[in-house]
Amino acid sequence: MIRQLTGKIVDIRVHQITIDINGVGYTVATNIKLPDSELNSEIILHTHLAVRENALDLYGFREKKELEIFELLLSLPKIGPKSGLQIMTQADVALIKKAVLSQDAVYLSKMSGIGKKSAEKIVLGLKDKFVFDAEDTEQNRAHEESGHADIVDALITLGYGEQIARETANELTKTSPEIKDTRVLIKEALKIINK
C-alpha cells in the first residue's frame, strides 16, 4: 500500500497531478486546486491506493485528516473512490464534521453543493464512525452561532448563484469567524463578492 508520496510536481491537470519521485512519475487524483506556478515545486501527499481488476489508482491529499475522511466515505455503500474524491473536492473536513456532528444534511448540501440524498447518506453513515474532540464541538458551536447557512440563502435570494453564495460563505467562515450578526455577515459577504 502506498500511503505517502514526496516529490516534485511535473504535471498539473484538473483534479490530478503527476509527481516525479527519483525519475518515476506517479499520477495522483486529488482535491487540490493548484496553479501552474506550482510546477516543479515539492509536495507531500497522503495517499490511498485503489486496486481494481484493470487499474491501480492513487488518490492524494495534503492533510492526513482529509485522507481519513476520504477512507471513511469509501466505507459507505455506493461511494467509490471517484465519488469520494468529488465529495472531498466540494466539502472540506471541517464542513463534513460539522454536518455529521449536528446531524444536518441540509447544511452540508447547502454549503457544499453535494446533492441532498448524498448529503443525507454521508451524515447518517458517518455519525457512528467519527470520534469528535472538544475542538470539533467548539468549531461546530461557532458555525451554528455564525449562521453561515443563512448567508447562502440570503445571497441566493439577492440573485447570486448558488456556487458563489457557498464559496463566499465558506470564505467568511475562515476569515471572519468572530462575526455573529447576520446583517453584518451579509454586508461582509457582499464586499467579498464585489471586490
| Mean pLDDT in order along the chain per 10 residues (195 residues) | 94 95 97 91 96 94 94 93 93 87 86 88 88 52 56 81 79 77 83 83
Q: How many CB atoms lie within 10 A of CB 69?
A: 25
Residue 144 in grid coordinates: 451554528
Three-class DSSP category at 170: helix
52, containing H or E segment: strand 42-52
Helix (H) and strand (E) counts in the chain: 9, 5
Residue 78 in grid coordinates: 455506493
pLDDT, position 146: 46
Residue 43 in grid coordinates: 509536495
24, containing H or E segment: strand 24-30
DSSP state of 131: -
